[in-house]
Structures are given as C-alpha cells and as structure tokens.
Amino acid sequence: MPRGGIEETQWLSFLEVVQGVQLQQVPDRLGWTLDSSDSFSVSSVKYALNSGLVPSGDRGTRWNNWVPIKLNILVWRIQLSSIPTRERLSIRGVMVPSIMCPGCMVKAETIEHIFAGCCDLRDIWGRVAIWWGLSLPLQISVQSIINWLEGVNLSRGQRKAFDAIIITSFWCLWNFCNSTIFGMVLPKKSVIFDDVVEKSFFLDF
C-alpha cells in the first residue's frame, strides 16, 4: 500500500470510489451512446447519419430493406459522388487506359453519364417507366431518378417495391460497366433490363 503525501491521498480517493460501486449479478453488455436507450439499432445509426453526428453530405439517407445492403450503399455513394469512375480515378492520379465510358465510348465515364446521360445505357429508365406504367422525370439526371419515387401515385407497398427497382437498376448499370472493363466476356446492353427484372424478383445478387 502506498504511504504518505500525494500517493496516500490518491489511494484514499480511489478507495472512496471503489466503496461506492455496487456490483450486480447481470451479464456484461455493450452500450450504444448514439441512442438515448443505450441500445444499438439500425434506426439510431440512420438518425446519427441524418442529424450530422456522422458526416454524410447534405442529403438524407434512404434505405430499403427489400434489397441487399450493398445496393443501398451503392446509391448512397452515388449521391456522395464517391464511386471510382474512370474520370474520378484519373483526377486522383490513378493511371487508367481511358476515361471514356465503356458503354458508348463517346464521353467521359462520370457518375452522371453512367447512370443518366449515356445514350446506350439510359434506355433502361424508359423501360422501367413502361414496365410500371409511369412517366419519366422531365429532366433525366441521377438525382431526378433517385427522387422519381416522390412524384408517383402508388400505394405504400408499391412505392417500396418501385424504390427497390430503382436501386436495383443503379446496381445493374454499375455492374454492366464493371463487366465491360473487367469481365472475361463482353456483356450485352440488351440484357441490362432483363437483369433488373430477374434480380428484382429473385434477389440474385
């Protein structure tokens, strides 16, 4: 036991703290400080993201539990302009053989071009509109497609299903571009929509 001066004072203070602790016969658990209930939940994480406790840009996140989480994350990253397109890789100093879109080879592969501007790929949104009997947004852009759900007259369940279709379409377009660059066999543009339909029904990702 320490003796004299500051050490003795510190020791006495320590004893006072320890004597005030009451142990209980309950299992240990982890606390979650981002929620007032001290319990972890997905909703508390979403609240933390949207309230600015965790940086997430200037837009709220929208998650759809009818599709795999990786699809939700892709759309979230698209909104944050943080997916590795050829143009972004080139700006960061990464050597790429070309910054041109692998779909049309006419314009640079940017986020806006891949998902909304490419003349060879944007037809997917028209086919989705025909499939659901809906009108396309007046101006086709990444953000207008993401917000497409807000302007449609559908029931609650239909809205969630349509949102899942939009998210799946983003995934299929991104997967097509990656397969064009890295795949062993050149994918066909004509099957992108069929891929959206198949994945939407069978969740085959």
- List pLDDT tens digits, range 67-76: 999 999 999 9
| Predicted local distance difference test score (pLDDT) of residue 56 | 47
Structure pTM? 0.71
Mean pLDDT over 132-152 rounds to 94
- The pLDDT value recorded for residue 91 is 92
Closest CA relative to residue 77, chosen from 52, 51, 59: 59
In the structure, what pLDDT confidence band is assigned to residue 167 with cuts at 50, 70 and 90?
A: very high
The pLDDT of residue 59: 56
DSSP 116: I
Q: What is the pLDDT of residues 1-40, one digit of tens each?
A: 444 455 666 766 766 766 766 777 777 777 777 777 777 7
The pLDDT confidence band at residue 132, using thresholds 50, 70 and 90, is very high
For 5, half-sphere exposure in the C-beta direction (CA atoms, 13 angstrom radius) is 2
Q: Give the residue among 170, 148, 157 at the shortest CA–CA distance from 73.
A: 170
Closest CA to 111 of 75, 85, 141, 93: 85
Two tokens, residue 37: 């209930």
End-to-end CA distance of the chain: 63
The pLDDT of residue 179 is: 92
pLDDT at 52: 64
CB 199 within 8 Å of CB 170: no
What pLDDT was estimated at residue 12? 67
